[in-house]
Amino acid sequence: MANIPHLSQLSQILRHDILTSTTAAKSGHPTSSLSAVELMATLFFGGFLRQDINDFKRIENDRVIFSKGHASPLLYALYHVAGVLKYDELLTLRKFGSRLQGHSTPDLPFVDVATGSLGQGLSIGVGMALGIKTKFQISNFKFQIPKVFVLLGDSELAEGQNWEAAQIASYNKLDNIIAIVDVNRLGQRGETMLEWDLKTYEKRFQAFGWNTIVVKDGHNIKQISNAFHTVETCHGMSLQKPTVIISKTVKGKGVPFLEDKPGWHGKPVPKEQLEEALRELGSVDLSLKGKISSPKFKLPVSSITQPSLPLRPYPRTSLYSTREVFGDALVDVGCENNQMVALDAEVGNSTYTEKFGKKFPERFFQCYIEEQHMASSALGFAKVGYIPYISSFAAFLTRAFDQIRMAQYSLSTTMNIVGSHCGVSIGEDGASQMGLEDIAMMRAVRESTVLYPSDAVSVYKLTKAMATHPGMNYLRTTREKTPVIYDENEEFPIGGCKVHGMDSRLRGNDKQKCKAIIIGAGITVHVALKAQQILAKKGVFVTVVDLYSVKPIDAETLQKLVKNTPHVIVAEDHYEFGGVGEAVLSAFSKFQISNFKFTHLCVRKLPRSGTPHELLHFEHLDEESMVKAVME
């Protein structure tokens, strides 16, 4: 049984740390942290959490995610009491250069993921729990599978993504994820939607297939301890259900002038009131420490990689859509690395991830129509050692931009995103299905990679390259079947491009006839090559650039080309802003290239249903429009 007097004393130390650190910072969220003190003190120091504090990366460790990321002062205080942080460092909270940021980040070794955009932590936890469970099941390990604990605020349960995660957790029978809901009644501007209506919270989670445990007094350590004992019992019985602890708490608990008072969210106790607040805590023995239990076992290490497979045959006499060949490459990546997983948003028969699902069902995870959950869950997989590939229509990935944006602050490995059905060239489905903003979205992510291959060989090789390329990688695929341009020995380094010139036809001064560079990517490369042939018959020669790597961009090659050519034409099946055109101009600006004419062919009109050719013509992206741009 938990040592209740000891946990009560540790709880008061946590309150002391929360108050003093936020007052020193002159900002922060002490009241949101104070409400969850007993909940987390009992979890951490009551023998329920198992973590090796000398090696937080161990797969055998339980994980803790503070989805209510603004309660970071509590998280820091917990690890101070555990002996991981010194008190002097606590007082650097929110200061420039400190590891203790306003919302916790993986700058600290015990923090797996950055949180603070509310509603995402449960999805990340589901990804972690699925990843951990998969590792242990594949290894046929007999010990209990490590657990993932997610601290949720009651306010953030208004976010729909939580319920996306809840139903996926239930569907996958994730008995190793435990949500802890801190029901403190008050949000940022006042009362929450349900206030202290624990019964309704319980009914909602039960409706999503969760095992529920209600704690009527979230500051009563005995009740909390009993709840965690019930979690252990359920975990041992393999009920194959996720569990949620729904706990009634008081915001600002421990300091009477803060308790259940609106208007204190995000406000520290002023320095002149700090002494009064600390006095309310009573006697606090700051020398006491808590102990986090260690895992009792070690998972056997298994082989990860296998020999690389050769390129599949893609003869030039055939037509292939890049989305279809992406599916082939995904299977081969899975054969080469057993830590690769694929997540689908119920479009696997369109993105062709279903090929991977049929080959590796144990590493294929159906997220259904939940792009936001899928993106956050992929981060969870990445944090427990997997290489996730997620895919959907590019247009639908835009709804997950906040999740992608947040993932960049946590990612130390690889996370791959694939958007299909890009541009007006998808044809009859109409504007709602056309990815026309995705390049801009993914270029905006700070250290992202953006790839847009044009044929079977390039998409196959770039899909495989993403598996070993760290960071956030985005691959754009097209729906239409197109010719194979490249031989199988052609290489596609990330950050490169391919130049299709007419030099073999030109001699001496004739090279001055090279009137323009047409820069395309994906579908527009094929259109540009057609335009190149039409122009050549007119005695007008152009160079076509396949800019398969939009970010990083091959600025040096472009610089060399533009020096000898007066006219640069960018043709992209994307809206005007943020896409290939602006990437090219940015590269030219970097090298201070000027004195050239720039023509930007892109999607400027409101798209509609039609054939691919009709729509490319409508948007002036067909070969006729490219020829006209050169001749003018």
What is the CB-side half-sphere exposure of residue 607 using CA atoms within 13 A?
33
Residue-by-residue DSSP string for 8-22: HHHHHHHHHHHHHHH
Q: Tell me the CA distances in angstroms from 468 to 385, 465, 495, one per residue in order.
A: 13, 6, 15
Please tell me the distance from the alpha carbon of residue 396 to that of residue 414, in angstroms, as a whole number.
21
Q: What SS3 class is residue 49?
A: coil
Residue-by-residue DSSP string for 504-543: GG--GGGGGGEEEEEEE-THHHHHHHHHHHHHHHTT-EEE
Residue in the block written with tokens 């020669």 = 541
Segment holding 247, helix H or strand E: strand 243-248
Query: What would the two tokens of residue 603 be?
Result: 């999607």
Name the nearest CA neighbour of 150 among 40, 5, 259: 40
Q: DSSP E strands: which ranges in 334-424?
A: 340-344, 364-366, 387-393, 414-420
> What residues pair up with 600 in beta bridges, in sequence order?
570
66 neighbors 121 (Cβ within 8 angstroms) = yes
Q: Tell me the CA distances in angstroms from 458 to 411, 417, 461, one per residue in order.
A: 26, 17, 5
Q: What SS3 class is residue 85?
A: coil
Q: What SS3 class is residue 299?
A: coil
Segment holding 450, helix H or strand E: strand 449-451
210 neighbors 166 (Cβ within 8 angstroms) = yes
**What is the bridge-based pairing of β-strands 177-183 and 211-215?**
unpaired
Query: What would the two tokens of residue 122 be?
Result: 């449960």
Look up 371 and say whether it is catalytic.
yes
Sheet containing strand 63-66, edge to edge, reads 63-66, 148-153, 177-183, 243-248, 211-215
Q: What SS3 class is residue 150?
A: strand
Catalytic residue among 370, 371, 572, 619: 371
3-class secondary structure per residue, 534-581:
HHHHCCCEEEEEECCEEECCCHHHHHHHHHCCCEEEEEEEEECCCCHH
Active site residues: 371
